[in-house]
Structure 1
Amino acid sequence: MTTYDAIVIGSGPNGFAAAITLQQQGLSTLIMEGADTIGGGMRTKELTLPGYRHDVCSAIHPMAMASPFLRSLPLEAHGLHFVQAPYAAAHPLKNGEVARLCKSVDETVAFLGADGKKYKDLIEPVVEQWETLSLDIMGPLRFPEHPGQMMGFGLDGLMPADWLVHRFKTITGRALFGGMAAHGIQPLSNWGTSAIGMVLMAVGNRYGWPIPVGGSQSIANALKSYYLSLGGTIQCDCWVEDIRDIPQHRVLLLDLTPRQLLGLKGIEWAKSYKKQLEKYRQGMGVFKIDWALSDPTPFINSECNQAATVHLGNTYEEIAHYEKMTHCGKLLTEPFVLFAQQSSFDRTRAPEGKHTGWAYCHVPNGVEVDRTEAIETQIERFAPGFKDTIIARSSMNAMDMERYNPNYSGGDINGGLMDIRQLYTRPIRSLTPYRTSDPSTYICSSATPPGGGVHGMCGYAAAKTVLKDHYGIKEQDLKLNFLRGGNE
């Protein structure tokens, strides 16, 4: 059997990021994937009918171009191309107004009217400082390299969204912020929920919310192509239950969340480490639907058809109430729905003249309740006649999501609750949470900082720790090489 410097279990964005970072330093690496295709949350399949290509998990990628790691890679040369909608996101209201997240601060400000100046004061510094600020925001807990910038961001970002929203006076400004903050999949009364909304708006203004041509699988395919060009090796259909069954290696990196770590055989975790993993808290789950559609979604306000993502939850107050009740285990009639319409901008997604739809809502962790009617009725509130456009549908409840990808425990697509207690101290309280109690085993999944999303920064940080611990490569030297590769 071949002996590898490092083996990475899992081929999601973080698994690839870890393997690529190590392979770039001349190490021999192997990615082992349990499914028959690579990608983790970056997969695209014909879930409904032939010719209709649906993103199984991630769809729109706000963090893909905002990620320092992904921007450093020549993925366009390996087949990855993005398209942009005129608006990154839209948020219709029942009063007929529509809030819009545009591809610049000034455009967004122009639509917000009386709230424009407040928005500009809050978001423009994040947009302008993103190149340096992102290295502190999207890394482990540490003293920031740019403390002044981080302090300015943190004073606002650490607030609960329920507090920061009071800066906005218009119904549109409040709703836009609420829809963004609700991507955190937790009550908007939680500390730190403002940061989630601020980051998503800022990267939307700086990079847009890009759509990968051909589906999210295109990101995985480009990462695979680049990784193989470096000399890396991939094995699919290799479900690992016992690490004693895998090839010889010096270091093991696990793109797995705590529940999977606890179930692995062949590793004896220290009692204190195991206890912390057992206490790790999961967030809400999701119920997801994909549709094959006969026509574009008939939104009352046609400007919604110009957005990659449409937030359907009406007012800030309705969204906040829904997130709070769902977190408490209750199901409400009108869920907050995140809806994407990729086929309007990427014609590879559906047959000529036809369309796809993609949506999910949050549900209590682990419930198997069917939310199809609730989601479709909520879409109908803002797009009467939507149900008449449905040709076929495919739905996945929270436990279907876990069965598809065990990292989504109970349907939790963020790899664990991302509240203030687990934002940077995940999955354990440590300044280097990528290390486990086994000195040759590391964790590189979304259960480590900075958490969920297609950005690869968890895997990059884990690999950086491995290089320091086992190969004596100083962090500052690696970072310099990393930053030189960045491109906008």
Structure 2
Amino acid sequence: MSASASPELDAVVVGSGPNGLAAAVTLARAGLRVQVLESQDSIGGGARTLDLSLAPGIVHDLCSAVHPLALASPFFRDFGLEARGVRMIAPEASYAQPLENEPAAIAWHDVERTADGLGVDGPAWRATLGTLSRQWDLVAELALGDKRSAAPALLTPRTLAVAPLFGGLLGLQGTPAWNLPFRTDRARALLNGVAAHAIGRIPSLGLSATSTLLGALAHGVGWPIPEGGSQAIADALVADLRDHGGEIITGHRVRTWRDVPAARAVLLDTTAGAAADVLANRLPRSLEAQLRRFPRGDAAAKVDFVLSGPVPWRDPEVGRAGTQHLGGTREQMAAAEASVAAGRVPQHPVTLVSDPSVADPSRRHDGLRPLWSYAHVPAGDTTDPTELVTRQIERFAPGFRDVVVASRGVPAAELEHHNPSLVGGEISMGRVSMYDMIARPTARWDPYRLTDTGWYLCSAATPPGPGVHGMGGWHAARRVLRHEFGLREMPDLAPTPERLSFPLS
């Protein structure tokens, strides 16, 4: 299993998801010879956009569709997506929480507009999410670190002022004190709906961390949609990798270490269990057991729609947001998530919806538009989710069925067919709890390094966890450069002049 005396490659990355590509780009920028192996025929993992043959000219995002972390994460801020020509379009409303018996709650990009719409909870929203949104860069640094070290940039008076507010709001929303500091169902549901971007029982500290981070970014950088689809993010990473000598091989499934060419370092953008399979009987017995025992989370089932017009939301303001969280009140969402955790498909599952053409009209073609959606269900569920999701959308948008031209439902059990990392439909590569976000996938000091012979884990199964942010790959690559190549300075990730989408001044 150990690398040969003089391998042709310095590093091999298994998997071309955002974390794998972030690792590959970082290593190639450091001057290493890098090869990426991808089991699928297309590149991008959770950031792919494909023609599903549902309607001519209509393409769909396979997994992720809306990308605040692609603007906010330290990796992507250094990489500079927009400077490379990836147009990230933030709609005027980041997200909406429709309710059945009162007007919807809307999180506008403008925090003041949001607070004005929340009545008596406006001041509390300004004091919490508004304050955090003005320091969104620090919030992202705090949330997306390796959970093992403190970056020097965080040891500042500004951080010491932000961290207690971030931790305080996280603590309130993640515990039985979750009624504080908001007094109305609308404000409570609006923030709690953001937790739907993770899956698990609520309240919980793990999901509260998700809602606090993404809630702050909603007013900071907004929740942008890449023009043309999520594939634009993956394509920008691929272009930079190839510019620096990297190679990508598709259709290459890695089942064991024998399927990987000799290299000084191998990084696995896979689940913890898949890493254990690849290195079966070649890891310390205790570590292999820990990887296999890493708790799985609940799952998502996906439905892609083609519509003849916009979703007919009961409250028209909902349609101005790029993302809708469908679950009703916070208590209704908690009940639905409890059903999922108990292994039951709820009658009204927590459902996420996004019409990318709200921000990006280029996604429309001949009067048709795509609609992205997924519902929370138990892991491994085999039910076609199309009717389940259709009913949940109809609950808040009567007449939705009348604008549906075509649809494709993918049960949770089948999501892994287009992405092997989505085992049983689990999109978070492990349970989202506060402990499991830190001890991810183990409590070791270095959760990325698997062996002393150059094998590493760089996926969402490592800190900081799920999301299109590239940080798992970046953290792993930093360790590879130090341990395997003796390099302590991280390479510059900024686009070269020829890759800039605008001339240098």
| Coarse TM-score class (shorter-chain normalised) | over 0.9
In 1: Cα distance, 2:232 partner to 2:60 partner: 12
Moved more, 257-266 or 314-323: 257-266
**Shift of residue 32 of structure 1?**
1.0
Q: Structure 1: which amino acid aligns with 2:103?
A: E
Alignment of 1:138-153 (within 5 A): 138-144=144-150, 145-146=154-155, 148=160, 149-153=162-166
TM-superposed deviation, 1:137: 1.7
Kept in 2, the 8 Å contact 1:103–1:204? The answer is: yes
1:266-308 Cα offsets, whole Å, 9 max, x none, are 7611101011112101111111100111111111111111110
Q: Which moved more, 1:191-200 or 1:287-296?
A: 191-200
* 2:95 aligned partner: 89
Distance 1:260 1:166, change over 3 A: same
Aligned twin of 2:382: 368
TM-aligned CA distance change 1:29 to 1:158, over 3 Å: farther
1:11-160 pair list within 5 angstroms: 11-47=16-52, 48-144=54-150, 145-146=154-155, 148=160, 149-159=162-172, 160=174
Partner Cα separation in structure 1 for residue 50 and residue 394 of structure 2: 26
In 2, the alpha carbon distance for the partners of 1:127 and 1:23 equals: 34
Amino acid at match of 2:277: G
Per-residue CA deviations over 1:153-182 (Å, capped at 9, x if unaligned) read 223324415523332111210110110123
2:318 alignment counterpart: 304
| Among 473, 478, 483, the residue aligned to 1:464 | 478
State the partner residue of 2:335.
321
Report what 1:434 is aligned to: 448
How far the C-alpha of 1:251 sits from its partner, in A, is 0.4
Counterpart check, 1:10 vs 2:23: no
In the TM superposition, residue 193 of structure 1 has moved relative to its aligned partner by 2.6
Query: What secondary structure does 1:238 align onto?
Result: coil
Q: Comparing 263-272 with 336-345, which one deviates more in the overlay?
A: 263-272
Distance 1:178 1:309 in 2: 14
- Contact persistence 2:196–2:352 (CA under 8 A): no
3-state SS in 2 of match to 1:166: coil
Q: Deviations over 1:320-351 (max 9, x none)?
A: 11111211112221111111011233233231
Inter-CA distance 154–245: structure 2 relative to 1 (3 Å threshold): same
Question: Cα–Cα, structure 1 residues 266 and 426, in superposed 2: closer, same or farther, change >3 Å?
Answer: closer
Matched, 1:228 2:242: yes
2:118 counterpart letter in structure 1: L
Distance 1:73 1:311, change over 3 A: same
Unpaired runs of at least 5, structure 1:
none
Q: Secondary structure at the match of 2:276?
A: helix
Q: What amino acid does structure 2 have at the position aligned with 1:155? A: G
* Cα RMSD (Å): 2.1
Partners of 1:164 and 1:194 within 8 A in 2? no
Describe the SS at the equivalent of 2:189.
Answer: helix
Distance 1:267 1:420 in 2: 30
Q: 2:403 aligns with which of 385, 389, 393?
A: 389
Shift of 1:79: 3.7
Match of 1:353 among 361, 367, 370: 367
Partner Cα separation in structure 2 for residue 447 and residue 156 of structure 1: 25
TM-score by length of 2: 0.91
- For residues 57 and 407 of structure 1, the distance between their equivalents in structure 2, rounded to whole angstroms, comes to 12
Matched position secondary structure for 2:456:
strand
Q: Secondary structure at the match of 1:367?
A: coil
- Closer, same or farther: CA 32–389 of 1 in aligned 2, 3 Å: same
Task: Report SS of the residue matched to 1:71.
Answer: helix
Equivalences for residues 201-212 of structure 1 within 5 A: 201-212=215-226
- The answer to which of 71-80 and 270-279 deviates more is 71-80
User: Are residues 134 and 344 of structure 1, via their aligned partners in 2, closer, same or farther at CA, if it must alter by over 3 Å?
Assistant: closer
What is the one-letter code of the residue matched to 2:418?
A: Y
Change (3 A) 1:14 1:267: farther
1:163 paired to 2:169? no
Specify the SS of the correspondent of 2:407.
strand
More divergent stretch after superposition (15-24 vs 349-358): 349-358
Q: Does the Cα contact within 8 Å between 2:121 and 2:184 map onto a contact in 1?
A: yes
Letter in 1 for 2:166: F
Residues 305 and 370, structure 2, Cα contact 8 Å, conserved in 1: yes
Q: Secondary structure at the match of 2:437?
A: coil
Q: Secondary structure at the match of 1:52?
A: coil
In the alignment, structure 1 residue 451 sits paired with structure 2 residue 456: no
**Shift of residue 244 of structure 1?**
2.5
Aligned to 1:333: 347
Moved over 6 A (4+): 482-485
Deviations 1:372-417 (A, max 9, x none): 2221111111111100111110111111112221211211111111
CA distance in 1, matches of 2:149, 2:282: 32
The CA distance in 2 between the partners of 1:404 and 1:310, in whole Å, is 25
Farther off after superposition, 272-281 or 156-165: 156-165
Q: What is the letter of the counterpart of residue 42 of structure 1?
A: A
Q: 1:309 to 1:102 in 2, by over 3 A?
A: same
Q: Indicate the residue corresponding to 1:175 in structure 2.
A: 189
